[in-house]
């Protein structure tokens, strides 16, 4: 992980997390290696772990998501934020306090929360799901110290990524995005089953990290979504300092880079590592 990531330790400090959020203790157990852990296939356990992490490390009063919505692994989300901070540190920002736009913020609103708490950024989170917008807004309002730093906006037209969201006189120093990964519900379900089988769970399976349709899949999957995002980004070249997005499938990078070359965009990718998991994000600008 990024050297500034507080979650660099390979294991969670359950003693500290339970002291901050006692309900977590009911969901922990000692595994065969003698370590305290949770059942990561249990949505309730994953939710309470996240609540404990956000309370303990990020000073939230509380945090929640509706049943069935995406419950993000916070260490990896924090890594994206830290790498973005590295990029911004080498780039002069127009806003006195860096301002970022999170495309598809979800019910969890995790990137705006982490960005505001780790680097005091001003953040705007956007989503096309009205229920997610209500939840994200609640996660801000129940933590008063977030209210002056985070705004949540509803995108009423799913075909548009920036139109209707960015105001005419508004400037964002960066954009970030975690696009839908799968091309269909069936593909998403298969991926979840593989994940659960790796955890040794084959019966009574559930989506352990949750996820609604627009969170997990879209027509054409990640590649088509990002091609659309790149195409639409041209119109906002003067209102956004740098565009970024996670790219889950490494094989999608060449086709995205080809499209960016056609648009004469300056671009590069950043590799990230969380344990055995490798991830990356692509970044581009027009100046």
Q: What is the mean pLDDT of residues 212-221?
A: 54
> Which of 2-11, 26-35, 193-202 holds the top average pLDDT?
26-35
pLDDT at position 208, please? 45
Cβ-contact 216, 184 below 8 angstroms: no
pLDDT attached to residue 200 = 58
Q: What percent of the chain has pLDDT above 90? A: 78
CB atoms within 10 A of CB 277: 9
In the predicted structure, residue 182 carries a pLDDT above the cut 50: no
Higher-scoring residue by pLDDT: 168, 207? 168
More confident of the two residues 223 and 234:
234
Weakest-pLDDT range from 50-54, 88-92, 262-266: 88-92
Mean pLDDT value across the chain? 89
The DSSP letter of residue 130 is H
Domain segments of the chain: what residues?
68-285
pTM, two decimal places: 0.88
How many other C-beta atoms lie within 10 A of the C-beta of residue 21? 19
Which tokens sit at 144? 């008063």
pLDDT at 68: 87
The alpha carbon dihedral of 26, 212, 126, 141 has a sign of negative
pLDDT reading at 218 higher than 60: no
Determine the pLDDT at residue 11.
86
CATH fold of the domain at 68-285 = Rossmann fold (3.40.50)
The residue behind tokens 């991830």 is 279
Closest CA to 220 of 187, 252, 191, 182: 182
Cα 118 from Cα 81, distance rounded (Å): 8
Q: Is the confidence at residue 192, as pLDDT, over 60?
A: no
pLDDT tens digit sequence for 44-89: 999 999 999 999 999 999 999 999 898 999 999 999 999 999 999 9
CA 258/CA 102 separation, integer angstroms: 24
Letter string b/e over residues 161-174, b meaning 16 or more CB atoms within 10 A of that residue's CB: bbeebbeeeeebbb
Q: Does the structure show a pLDDT above 70 at 220?
A: no
Mean pLDDT of 77-105: 96
Is the predicted pLDDT of residue 205 greater than 50, yes or no?
Answer: no
Per-residue confidence (pLDDT) for residue 92, from 0 to 100: 87
* pLDDT value at residue 247: 96
pLDDT band for 184, please (50, 70, 90 cuts).
very low
**91 contacts: CB under 8 Å, gap ≥ 6:** 241, 242
The pLDDT of 23-42, averaged and rounded, is 95
């Amino acid at each position: 992980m990024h050297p500034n990531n507080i979650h660099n330790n390979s294991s969670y400090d359950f003693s500290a997390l339970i002291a901050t959020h006692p309900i977590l203790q009911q969901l922990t157990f000692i595994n065969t290696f003698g370590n305290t852990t949770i059942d990561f296939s249990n949505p309730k356990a994953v939710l309470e772990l996240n609540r404990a992490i956000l309370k303990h490390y990020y000073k939230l009063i509380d945090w929640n998501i509706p049943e069935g919505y995406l419950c993000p692994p916070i260490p990896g989300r924090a890594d994206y934020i830290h790498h973005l901070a590295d990029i911004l540190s080498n780039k002069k920002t127009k806003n006195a306090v860096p301002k970022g736009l999170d495309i598809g913020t979800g019910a969890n609103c995790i990137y705006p929360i982490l960005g505001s708490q780790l680097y005091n950024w001003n953040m705007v989170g956007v989503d096309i799901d009205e229920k997610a917008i209500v939840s994200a807004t609640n996660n801000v309002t129940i933590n008063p110290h977030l209210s002056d730093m985070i705004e949540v906006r509803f995108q009423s037209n799913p075909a548009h990524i920036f139109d209707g969201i960015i105001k005419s006189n508004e400037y964002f120093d960066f954009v970030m995005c975690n696009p839908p990964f799968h091309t269909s519900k069936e593909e998403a379900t298969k991926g979840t089953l593989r994940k659960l089988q790796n955890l040794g769970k084959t019966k009574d399976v559930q989506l352990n990290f949750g996820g609604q349709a627009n969170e997990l899949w879209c027509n054409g999957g990640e590649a088509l979504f990002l091609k659309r995002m790149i195409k639409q980004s041209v119109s906002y070249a003067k209102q956004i300092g740098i565009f970024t997005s996670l790219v889950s499938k490494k094989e999608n990078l060449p086709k995205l880079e080809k499209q960016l070359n056609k648009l004469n965009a300056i671009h590069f990718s950043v590799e990230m590592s969380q344990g055995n998991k490798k991830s990356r994000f692509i970044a581009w600008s027009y100046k």
